[in-house]
Amino acid sequence: MIERRRIKANIGAGLFVLCAMAAVIGAAVVALLTTAVGAADDGSPLFTSYIWKVTRFTLLQAFLSTLLSVAFAIPLARALARRQAFIGRSWLIRLLAVPIGLPPIVAALGLIEIWGRQGIFNSVLLAAGLEQPVSIYGLTGILLAHVFFNLPLSARLLLAQLERVPPEQWRNAAQIGLDPWTVFRLIEWPFIRSHLAPVCGLVFMLCVTSFTLVLLLGGGPGATTIEVAIYQALRFDFDPQRAVILALLQLGLTSLLLILLTWLGGAPEEGATIGHRVRRHPGKSPAAVAADFGLIGIAALFLVSPLVSIAVAGLLADFGRLLGEPIVWRAVTTSLLIAVVAALLSVSMAMTLVRARHAALPLAPRHGWARGFRAAAAAASSLVLLVPPIVLGAGWFVLLRGHVDVFAIAPLIVVAVNALMALPFVIRVLEPAHTTHMARTARLTASLGISGLNRLVLVDWPGLRRAFLLATAFAMALSLGDLGAIALFGSQDVVTLPYLLLQRMGSYRTNDAAGLALLLGLVCLVLMVIADRGRVSSGAQL
């Protein structure tokens, strides 16, 4: 009887979370659709030449960014897979995870320090006698920034595939004496190809939904994506009709991409293996060694240089004056409060859904509603990806305007949006840990009659504490670095660190921006390091 009540309570709580998520997302989508229908009734054109131009540029920059990121990631992953014994390899692998946890606005500032008009790269070109420096703004800057973020991600994913090659295949290749091209064609390429389409799809989706990088580096109307156009339509032009059409276009694109991502892929046929570790025998010729380490060195320099430039510029900032400004402390306090509340909300929602799915598992073989509920709970986190923060914020902006002061309730909206956006990642941390924990403790606690608060304190919290903490750290890092929702709802009364950093960059106060970027970047990177270490030790699947 107690077990049945627990199952009902967990499923009921999960159903409540699903309904709340559907209400938040559905209300925003309905508001967008209603406004679009009203615009159509007025006879005004829905799809103007400007909207089509923005859509074409969004797809173009995403395609080029994906092509460049993956094209460079393949040889980098192969070089790292071949060279497994050099000093610092493990740190270099960790370095590939740094851009994932770096707030885009901080990375953009670092890229400007290196590739901007007054940056190091252009200073070298001018010293060499070239009069026309490279421009960081426009399509060039967007591609450069997207490669900075997505090249490491792609390389890590493809490197993981190469490490799945059965070791016997490397031994056979070495014994036969296969040349590098044949090794790539017969051994490496099948494993890369099996994961290439999902990697490309993921990178393409990240580039389509990119907001902060395009906002800072776009360089004008000729280099504007859909999300930036939504922001401009609401904050500067106050054209809700155009924002609605753009938001619906973005919603359609993300829906299509998510559907494609579920179809792409397919694991290669696994070869038989006895599981013994066999080291690869890469080419030892000076040319082969130089090519591999040259590529690894260039990639490391490309990733490290913006980070070092942020650190150097930040340390040169006048921290004494910055920390003496009340608005800086207000921004820090607001950012931390929003991050903590959003993280706790996201972790609570994720754990409720995970427990509900587990509770419905024994009922699934006999009841169709239980199977449907488990599928809905599993799909909830993925469905959140359909509605990017800027689109969700635009929907609520349109819904609330004229009824309440949207800027007065901005913190509530930002917390809700950030919590929903972190939910897919938090679930991927908590669900594997919860599954393992229940497999180890469920029968024993049931036989001992431990339930309720006693089980939570004595069994569940000690077993899941690490997963909870790393999920909270990950969600806090995502919220602290977010600029999507706060860009729409931020004001002088609601200022976060990314929003203040954006203001300082817009007013050309570069020293202040560098100091704020260093502060924000350090906090987020510390949280991401905690999350990454906890992920490895707990087996979480990010």
The predicted structure's pLDDT at residue 41: 57
Polymer length of the chain: 542
Interatomic CA distance for residues 240 and 51, integer angstroms: 13
DSSP state letter for 363: T
Interatomic CA distance for residues 135 and 408, integer angstroms: 39
Interatomic CA distance for residues 203 and 249, integer angstroms: 19
Interatomic CA distance for residues 229 and 483, integer angstroms: 15
Is residue 65 within 8 A of residue 144, CB to CB? The reply is no
Average pLDDT, the chain: 81
Alpha-carbon 523 to chain mean position: 17
pLDDT band at 61 (very low <50, low <70, confident <90, very high): very high
The predicted structure's pLDDT at residue 533: 59
Report the interhelical angle of 410-448 vs 510-538 (nearest 10°): 20
Q: What is the mean pLDDT of residues 85-107?
A: 79
Phi then psi dihedrals of residue 219, to 5 deg: 85, 25
| CATH 1.10.3720.10 domain position(s) in the chain | 1-45+316-542, 47-304
317-to-314, 320, 385, 513, 519 alpha-carbon distances in Å = 5, 9, 37, 9, 11
Residue 511 has pLDDT above 70, yes or no: yes
Is residue 216 within 8 A of residue 505, CB to CB? The reply is yes
By C-alpha distance, which of 298, 268, 41 is closest to 165? 268
CATH superfamily placement of domain 1-45+316-542: MetI-like (1.10.3720.10)
Instruction: Please write the tens of the pLDDT for every residue from 328-384.
Output: 889 889 999 999 999 999 999 999 998 888 888 877 778 778 888 888 887 777 666
Instruction: Please write the tens of the pLDDT for every residue from 173-219.
Output: 777 777 777 777 887 888 888 778 888 888 998 898 888 889 888 86
Token readout for 153 is: 């991600």
Interatomic CA distance for residues 142 and 73, integer angstroms: 18
Is residue 420 within 8 A of residue 390, CB to CB? The reply is no
| Architecture of the CATH domain 47-304 | Orthogonal Bundle (1.10)
Find the radius of gyration of the CA atoms of the chain.
25
Interatomic CA distance for residues 488 and 482, integer angstroms: 12
DSSP symbols for 519-539: HHHHHHHHHHHHHHHHHHHHT
Burial label, 296 (beta-carbon count in 10 A; 0-12, 13-18, 19+):
buried
pLDDT band at 277 (very low <50, low <70, confident <90, very high): low
DSSP state letter for 540: -
The predicted structure's pLDDT at residue 344: 94
AA identity, residue 326: P
